[in-house]
Amino acid sequence: MKKIRLGGDSLPYPILKVFLVMKLAFLVVLVSCMQVSAGVFGQNTHLSLKAEDMKFSKMLKLIERKLPYRFVYSTDLVPSDKKVSLDVTDASLDEVMAKILADTDLEFKLISKKLIVIAPKASDIQEVRVKGKVTDSSGMALPGVSVRVVGTNTGTITNGSGEYELSAPGNASLEFSYIGYLSQTVAINNRTEINIKLADNSKGLNEVVVVGFGTQRKANLSGAVATISTKSISNRPVASVQESLQGVSPGLTILNRPGDVGSESNITMTVRGRTNLGSPGPLIIIDGIPVSNREFQSLKPSDIESMSVLKDAASSAIYGSRAANGVILVTTKKGEEGRTSIDLNASYGWQSPTRHFEYLGSYDYATLYNEALSNAGKDPKFTAEQLQYFKDGSRPDEYPNTDWYKEALVKNPALKDVNLGVSGGSKKSQYYLGLGYLGQESLVQNKDLNRYNLRLNASSQVLPILNIGTNISFIKQDRDTKGGELNWVALNRLVPSMVAVHSDGTWGTINGGSADATLAKDNVLRNMAEGGRGYSRDNITQAGLTAKLTPLPGLMIYGQGSLKYNNNMSFAFTNTLPPLINFLTKEEMTSTRVTQNQMVERWSRRQETLIQGYAEYEKQIKAHHFKLMVGASQERNLYRYIAGGRLNFPNNQAGILDLGSSVDLPTENDSYYGTNVPLNRSYEEFWGILSYFGRINYDYKGKYIFEANFRQDYSSRFHPDYRQANFPSLSAAWRMSEEPFLRNATFLDNLKLRASWGILGNESSTPLGNYLDLLKYGAVYSFNGTQVNGAYQDRGVNIEASWENVYMTDFGVDATFLKGKIDVVADYYIKTTKDILVPITVGNTYALKAPTVNQGSTRNKGIELAVTYNDRIGKDFTFSISGNISKINNEILNLGEVNERISDKWIERVGGSVGDFYGLQAIGLFVDDADVANSPKQASATKPGDIKYKDQNGDKIIDANDRVVIGNDVPWFNYGFSITANYKGIDFSILGYGVTNVETYLDNEASYAFFNGAGVKPLHKNRWTKENPDPNADYPRLLLSSDGQHNYNNNNSFWLFDASYFRIRALTLGYTLPEKLTRKASIKNARLYVAANNPFTIMFDDRLTDYDPEIASGRGGYPGIKTWSVGINVKF
């Protein structure tokens, strides 16, 4: 065997002959095996054989046939034409082998009971220069790998391209070690090139985590970054990605307000708790491009390659002024070199409400109504005879029992989801094509949503140093309402004594025996059937171009440009309707007509342009590893809206404005402009942001890790003099497990301590145009039948209004034990938000909306803990259990010139928490007249059975001075768990999520009996009555809402309910068909599954029988949805 000796002063990267590479690699493995089993040697098997001039290889095969041994050797060692002769009888293996190897430099070793290795004799020992490349299992270069000569202190570390070079004795061994990978020891055997593939040690550590403007190995992270596996979010029957993120990562709180199909503003995400006094969400970035919640919602989970949540300041400061509430980075799938692979997933689901809104039937309604009237000293409404009709249902056209929710909603609307992913490519070009369809029917009977997704990610190495990529995505979302919109307020006010449809098929007109024009007109069934029609068409088109230059080893220059259009169009037509006919008198009920039809059409377009670039340089100098990144970006966002509407079309089929009357343009209320704004209008919104950013990474042997980030932002939201803001951050980590004193702790695979500090900004609290002294303009009045416009001041201006700043300090531990069986991530952080924009406290005499000033401050101290346990029982059963908790202690530190601000039910008070409820403390219900007389004075209407309030200041009068903090509505404590298990082809997973120690204030329809004419709920049955004057009853004495204001109007703790809940968020059971079956159909993998979203919910307050914990107010609206689905997943 030829020995190659390298010159010490030759080129750093000399060109080598490659003929040995492949085979040597094979040998390396063998030799390393020998090393392990060197001590085990011995044989007693004997052989008789005679052969002449037999090929060496054939000879060994012959021996293999006769003896229970297998030979391994490198054909390089033995010339292929070498022939040997043998003639032995009952010879020992030693004798046989000695004869065969007689005239070679080879020797043999039995390394296991059956394996014999033939290898060169370790004779002449000389120093060799070894070089090579270390890669991970996927062939990616691993920089920073420690390469050590076994038994010595000499060694080196791989450079940025994963290459190393050192001198060592030819018979020595090299140990390759690197965080997160299994160490390997390889005998040099005088070789000059040894390339190594390191195998993953414990999953996770080697995961490449997407961070801001780049990637980082998890092991090298010094900030708090959570990665969300695509496994935990795919194949869930949900209509948005956000829904699938709940409970997956501690500190990421997602509140999913139930909403009708395609509604967009109902999901709020917070990272590490609300800190400012509003509640903005994290910045979401898909493939480097910031996106809105709506776009994130429309993203197909199956298109997602990876997702990172940047939680602390160190990791998110690179996003500066929009990162105050964390950053979610999403990377979509890329193609891979190799055979085209096709991934098809299809599912069909059945949706239903998590909780039904429950109203009592007409008999209970009428009975309790009478009770409520008599409690107020008024005459009962329903006679005994009428009550009997309700009870026996004998006169359904006059005394019905209508369950309006049941009538208005569909039982099990479908959720259809089909995704197709195609990927592949050559060595130079790769692509991923994702196609998706989501069809969601609404619980509202006449509505549905159809969404089509297309995503094409392609990249091509056009030059050796230049890679060009494109991200193209298109989303089309159609919502259709085949009829009038469901009016939820009307639905909640429709009482069970009102007829829905009469026996003769006409729409209901009779309520409890007499005609009721108001409710007849508000009949939601009629309006859904005949009221009109509507649709919306949303398109999001995005084209992104990336260029990656790698001109020098370690240097990468990355440029990205993207253009995105978000086009929305909506159409609504309200029909004219004829009057209903009174069922009893057969006369027209004139006021139930709709005399004018109308049409409204709205268009909007958001154009977002982004240009950004950065350069990254990575260098390994001995044990020191550096990475430097600098970049810049600019973003522009331009929104334009136009709406048009007309009245009085010739018929209800008309669909264009031209057909309407030219003079009557309806007005509408607008959250920005106020009431009675002409509908025909357009407006524009613009913002831009310009940023410079940079990062330095340094680590020593992967053991001591440092990172510094810096970002400078200029935002158009602020006055030109106050536009610049700087956001620095620092972080460090210590991989204790790499220290010699822990190296031998076999139970410990990884232990890393992290610390970070940084500043983040929040610009979203500042409205556009904030620093300008503006006059509102629009129609204000009319003179003699002619509308006139006007201009007026509306709000005070503070031109200095600027960013809110978040200062965050984070301490964290990452630990892995028992060969990756147990994984723990824990963080403690202090997140102080300063310069919160708080409206200046002004009295009404100032008479404008108060300007906001950067003067508030809050602090969140929180802990996050995530623990995972993986194990295997027997051969086939593997499982993983993980749990996470997040606890936040929030304190308001400063509110500017005042110490407290009260708004409605809430108080913000220095020393208190965001979300504190403020009101009277209820201490049960009054038992009798004496109780009322002997208690501090409340309202004049207060009677036995009303809520009793605590006289906090002891002045014998219950008034506003007796208000105290009575609860809090922010879930500061969240927990989640998941279990996954696999047994042969069966897989199972369950994901649970809960919050505790949180209250909700339910009022109006949610909890008040007969609220403004509405019905009664099961809660109201457990009321205080004269017969059973229970001071702890679930509900005070029944009163109509106009009579019970003293119980309702005071914000008080009686209406606070425990909103703690635990919810099984997701459930999946899958079965992968045996490969034997699928291979015949040339299918790589086929899996059938049943999945559920939100299947079970436990509420901790048993009074909450019909309340979904995530619903906004409980006043009755689109309910929370649970979905069961079946699906199939096929890979070709």
Partner 1 sequence: MKKQLLIISSLLGVALTQPACNKDFLDRPYQREIEDKTFWTNANDANLALNACYQQIDYGEWSIYDDGKTDNAHAQYPWESAATVISAGDVTSANNVDWSFESIRRVNNFLDKVQDVPMDADLKARFEAEARFLRAFRYANMMNQFGDVPIMTFLPDLTNWNVPRDKRADVLKFIIDELKAVAAVLPSSYGGSQYNEVGRITKGAAVALLARVYLYEGMWTEAAEAAQQVMGMNYDLFKVSEESASDAADDYSQWVDFANADEEKRFRLGLRSYEQQFWAKNNNNVEVILDRQYLEQKDPKYVNTYLLSDDLGGWSSVTPTQALVNDYMSFKTGKPVAALDPAVRAQRYENRESDPTFYDEYKNRDPRFYASILFEHAPWNTITQGYEFTWIPGGNNCSRTGYNFRKFVDPAAWQAGLDNYANHPIIRFAEVLLTYAEAKTAATAAGTQPEASVYDALDRIRVRAGMPVIDRAEYNTAAKLMPVIRQERRIELALEGQRYMDIRRWETAPNVMTTIYNISNGLAQTRAWSDKLYLMPIPLSETDKNPNLLPNNPDY
Minimum distance of partner 1 from residue 1013's CB (angstroms): 6
Judged by CB under 8 A, which stretch of 38-46, 820-828, 838-846, 1103-1111 contacts partner 1? 838-846
Q: Which residues between 521 and 550 bind partner 1 (CB under 8 A)?
A: 521, 547, 549
Asked if 509 is part of the footprint of partner 1 (rule: CB under 8 A), the reply reads no
Give 549 or 981: the residue with its C-beta nearer to partner 1: 549
Show contacts with partner 1 in window 944-983 (CB under 8 A): 959-960
Residue whose C-alpha is closest to residue 679's, from 778, 582, 769: 778
- The whole-angstrom separation of Cα 863 and Cα 924 is 36
Amino acid, single-letter form, for residue 481: T
Q: Which residue has the tokens 């605590």?
A: 950
DSSP 107-138: EEEE-SSSEEEEEE---S--EEEEEEEEEETT
In the DSSP assignment, the letter for residue 305 is E
- State the nearest-atom distance from the C-beta of 382 to partner 1, in Å: 8
| Residue placing its CB nearer to partner 1 in the complex, 337 or 587 | 587
Query: What is the b/e burial string over 847-879, where b = at least 16 CB atoms within 10 angstroms of the residue's CB?
Result: eeeebbbbbbbbbbbbbbbbbbbbeeeeeeeeb
The answer to whether residue 1031 forms part of the interface with partner 1 (CB under 8 A) is no
Span of 333-341, 972-980, 1037-1045, 1066-1074 interacting with partner 1 by CB under 8 A: 1037-1045
Q: Shortest approach of partner 1 to residue 701 CB, angstroms?
A: 31
CB 435 within 8 A of CB 475: no
Taking the least distance from each CB to partner 1, the nearer of 727 and 975 is 727
Residues within window 651-670 making contact with partner 1, judged by CB under 8 A: 664-667
Cα four-point dihedral sign 506, 511, 514, 518:
negative
Q: Does 1126 bind partner 1 (CB under 8 A)?
A: no
Within 10 A of 169 (CB to CB), how many other CB atoms are there?
A: 15
Please, what's the b/e burial string for 449-472 (b: 16 or more CB within 10 A of its CB; e: otherwise)?
bbbbbbbbbbbbbeeeeebbbebb
Q: Which is nearer to partner 1, 174 or 525 (CB)?
A: 525
Of residues 8 and 377, the one with the C-beta less far from partner 1? 377
Beta carbon of residue 366, minimum distance to partner 1 (angstroms, whole number)? 10
CA dist., res. 548 & res. 560, Å (int): 9
Determine the Cα–Cα distance for residues 287 and 289; give it in Å rounded to an integer.
6
Site string for partner 1, 721-760 (x = CB under 8 A): --x-------------------------------------
Question: Residue 627: exposed, middle, or buried by beta-carbon count in 10 A (0-12, 13-18, 19+)?
Answer: buried
985-1014: which residues touch partner 1 (CB under 8 A)?
A: 1012-1013
Structure tokens at 758: 């940084």
Select 64 or 397, whichever has its Cβ closest to partner 1.
397
Closest CA to 220 of 164, 248, 178, 182: 178
By C-beta, is 30 or 689 nearer to partner 1?
689
317, 499, 528, 557: which one contacts partner 1 (CB under 8 A)? 557
Among 410, 779, 830, 965, contact with partner 1 (rule: CB under 8 A): 779
Stretch that binds partner 1, among 224-232, 416-424, 835-843, 1112-1120 (CB under 8 A): 835-843
Q: Which residues, 6 or more positions from 383, have their beta carbon under 8 angstroms from its beta carbon?
A: none
List the structure tokens of 1090: 């049943």
Of residues 365 and 829, the one with the C-beta less far from partner 1: 365
792 binds partner 1 (CB under 8 A): yes
Closest CB to partner 1 among 178 and 359?
A: 359
603: which 2 tokens? 């268009």
650 lies in the binding site for partner 1 (CB under 8 A): no
Closer residue to partner 1 in complex, CB, 376/472: 376
The pair of structure tokens assigned to 892 is 């308001």
Element (H, E) at 1063: strand 1061-1072
For residues 1000 and 1050, which CB has a smaller minimum distance to partner 1 in the complex?
1050
Instruction: Report in angstroms the alpha-carbon separations of 647 from 187, 573, 575.
Output: 88, 10, 10
Tokens matching residue 996: 């505790």
CB of 1040 to partner 1, least distance (A): 9
Confirm or reject binding of residue 791 to partner 1 (CB under 8 A).
yes
Nearer to partner 1 (CB atom), residue 164 or residue 1055: 1055
**Sheet with strand 173-177: strands edge to edge:** 155-157, 146-149, 173-177, 184-187
683 sits near partner 1 (criterion: CB under 8 A)? yes
C-beta of 79: minimal distance to partner 1 in Å? 41
Task: Verify binding: residue 406, partner 1, rule CB under 8 A.
Answer: no
Q: Which burial class, exposed, middle or buried, applies to 137 when counting CB atoms under 10 A from its CB (0-12, 13-18, 19+)? A: exposed
Stretch touching partner 1 by CB under 8 A, among 315-323, 696-704, 938-946, 1027-1035: 938-946
Asked whether 758 and 832 are in contact (CB, 8 A), the reply is no
**Interface with partner 1 by CB under 8 A: which range of 433-441, 475-483, 778-786, 982-990?**
778-786
* Interface pattern 468-507 for partner 1 (x via CB under 8 A): ---------------------------x------------
Contact status: 89 vs partner 1 (CB under 8 A): no
Q: Which of 515, 529, 569, 623 lies at the binding interface for partner 1 (CB under 8 A)?
A: 515
Interface with partner 1 (CB under 8 A), residue from 12, 377, 740, 874: 377
Residue 85 as a binder of partner 1 (CB under 8 A): the answer is: no
- Residue 167 structure tokens: 């001198």
Q: Which of 586, 788, 875, 1076 binds partner 1 (CB under 8 A)?
A: 788
> Binding residue for partner 1 (CB under 8 A) from 122, 848, 873, 930?
848
Instruction: Residue 307: name the closest of 226, 215, 219, 222 by CA.
Output: 226
Whole-number minimum distance, CB 725 to partner 1, in Å?
13
Q: What are phi and psi of 350, to 5 degrees?
A: -115, 120
Residues 564-603 as x/- pattern, contact with partner 1 by CB under 8 A = -------------------------xxxxxxxx-------
Shortest Å distance, C-beta 156 to partner 1: 26
Secondary structure, 3-state, 572-589: EEECCECCEECCCCCCEE
Beta strands 681-700; 624-647: pairing state: antiparallel
Site for partner 1 in 794-823 (CB under 8 A): 796
Site string for partner 1, 606-625 (x = CB under 8 A): -----xxxxx----------
Q: Which stretch in 291-299, 300-308, 372-380, 1091-1099 sits in contact with partner 1 by CB under 8 A?
A: 372-380
> Cβ atoms within 10 A of the Cβ of 590, count?
10
Quick check: 849 and 794 in contact, CB under 8 A?
Answer: yes
Which residue, 68 or 785, is less far from partner 1 as judged by CB?
785
Residues paired with 618 in a beta bridge? 627
**Among 391, 776, 861, 1131, contact with partner 1 (rule: CB under 8 A):** 776
Question: For the chain, first and last CA: distance in Å?
Answer: 46
Site for partner 1 in 413-472 (CB under 8 A): 465-466
CB 268 within 8 A of CB 1123: no
Contact pick of 851, 896, 971, 976 for partner 1 (by CB under 8 A): 851
At 85, give phi and psi (nearest 5°): -120, 150
Distance CA 96, CA 67 (A): 12
Tokens of 1010: 């007969």
Part in contact with partner 1 (CB under 8 A); list of ranges 80-88, 182-190, 686-694, 927-935: 686-694
| Residue 840 C-beta: closest distance to partner 1, Å | 6
Q: Is 199 in the site for partner 1 (CB under 8 A)?
A: no
